[in-house]
Each structure stands twice: as structure tokens, then as C-alpha cells.
Amino acid sequence: MNLVKGARADITKNEPGLDEIIIQVSWEADPSLDIDASIFMIDESGKCPGDPYMIFYGNASSANQSVCHSVNNQSSEKTESFSIKLDTIEPIVQKLVLTLTIFEEEQKGQTFAQMNHASMKILNKKNGTELIHYDLGPFTVENSLVVAEAYRRNGGWKISANTGGFAGGLAQLCQHFGLEVAEETEPTASMKQAQKEAAPAIENENINVDQAPSVIQLSKITLEKPGDSISLKKADKIKHIAIKLQ
């Protein structure tokens, strides 16, 4: 099925037994345009329940492995994928919001006008069948995008191609979904590349900043497994996201 902007479609209704999907986003761009895909797992209030519910380059899987992120940059076409076990997503999560952002967009003055041939696909993970295809763009001044939302409906899952963008970047999206951003120092390009190449399904460890609540790191660095110490070399500027206290 081909989607157009603003359209909705069933994911599971016509696919009996479908319990695992892959949401895949692909694009072409100059290597200097460093695009990242993220999924925000949203509750009925429209917010992230906590930092483990933001799945991105710094937190490659949800706590129960229901959503896992991976990257394939082996060709001219860049692809990021989210493997999703629909039946194991926690009941508190009502929808999955897929976003695209540009790393260091403000410093480089980049927008999604520089991205070409972008598309989103939803695949049946078990047999590889393409269930939904959605071509994205063109874009102009946007440097962060809400691409689509997968949401619960009548015991199943649907997708809404409600693509929209605004100036801001990943930090702006985090604030929109209830996460506060505190600026400190930022990583070098080599540090962030190390995180891109790290294996998926690594759980982010909480870090306290002035006894604040748990934090998500926007810096691209290699994180160790939970329980291990995390070595952070803060050469320039690192952004943290602290969850708002309710």
C-alpha cells in the first residue's frame, strides 16, 4: 500500500497474526548531512513516560526490547530501522512517533531541503513483505520532522502519515514530548561516529546532573551496557535531556 501525506492506514487489520514489524526510513544526502531517526514512545497524555521511551542513537532499545533501533550506512542510500514487537509494547504506550533530525543542524546551517529520495516503509519482519510505502518530501526550511505515527486502534495498530516539520532539531522535539534539555558540552565527530557504529539494543544508563532526574544524552558516544561505568570525554559541548518532574 502506498501512503500519501495526511493519509491513514491499518497495519494489522488485514494481516492476521502480525506481531512483528520493521519501520524503515531511507534517504540520500551528502555525507555532511548527518540525519538521525528516532522513535518517541508516547502515552495517552502525549508525552514520553520517561527517558527509556525515547529510542535513538543514544538509547538503541526500549527496556523490554519491544522497540530496537539499527543503522545501515553501507551504501549511498542511508537507512535506519526500528524492529518492533507489537504484542510486547507496554500498555502505557499508545503511539510511536517516528522523527528525523539533523545532528548539529544549527552549527552547520543545514535543513531537510538537502535530503533526497526519502521514504518510509513498514515491513512484516517474519517474511520481509512490504506492507506500507510512503515517499517523503520535498522539504524546505525544516531541520526536524515528525514523519509518521503508529497508534493503537480497536486492539490493533494503524499508521498516520501526518508529516510535519519545524525549526529546532532533536532538542526541540524532546521538549515537545516532555523532556527538558540542559546544555553542557558537545562531542567531536569521531565520538558520535563511534556510537553510530555500536551494536543495537544497548540500554542507556542514567546520569545525574546536579541531582536532577535521569537523563538522556544527545551526544553521540559509545555507551557501555547497564551496570558498567560510562567513560565520557567531553571535548566540546554535550547536551543532556532531563525528564520533567510532574
Examine the pLDDT at 211 and tell me if it is beyond 50: no
- Using the predicted structure, report yes or no on whether residue 21 has a pLDDT greater than 70: yes
CA angle (118 as vertex; 59, 197 as ends), nearest 5? 35
Structural domain contains residue 229: no
Which pLDDT belongs to residue 204? 35
Q: What is the CATH number of the domain that holds 141?
A: 2.60.60.30
pLDDT tens-digit series, residues 114-135: 999 999 999 999 999 999 999 9
Q: What is the pLDDT of residue 72?
A: 87
Residue 227 resides in a domain: no
Q: 224: pLDDT confidence band, cut at 50, 70 and 90? A: very low
Q: What percent of the chain has pLDDT over 90?
A: 58
- Residue pair 44/94 in contact (Cβ under 8 Å)? The answer is yes
Strands 20-28 and 77-85: antiparallel
Higher pLDDT, 191 or 76: 76
- Domain presence at residue 203: no
Confidence of residue 19 (pLDDT cuts 50, 70, 90): very high
Q: What percent of the chain has pLDDT over 70?
A: 71
Q: Tell me, yes or no, whether 179 lies in a domain.
A: no
Domain that holds residue 168: 2-174
Q: How much is the pLDDT for 172?
A: 83
Cα(96)–Cα(157) distance, rounded to whole angstroms?
10
Number of domains in the chain: 1
Does residue 167 belong to any structural domain of this protein? yes
Amino acid letter for position 87: D
In a domain, 63, yes or no: yes
17/19 Cα distance (integer angstroms): 6
pTM greater than the 0.85 cutoff: no
Q: Transcribe 113-166 into DSSP letters.
A: GG-EEEEEEEEETTT--EEEEEE----SS-SEEEEEEEEEETTEEEEE---EEE
Could you tell me if residue 113 is inside a domain? yes
* Residue 205 is assigned to a structural domain of this protein: no
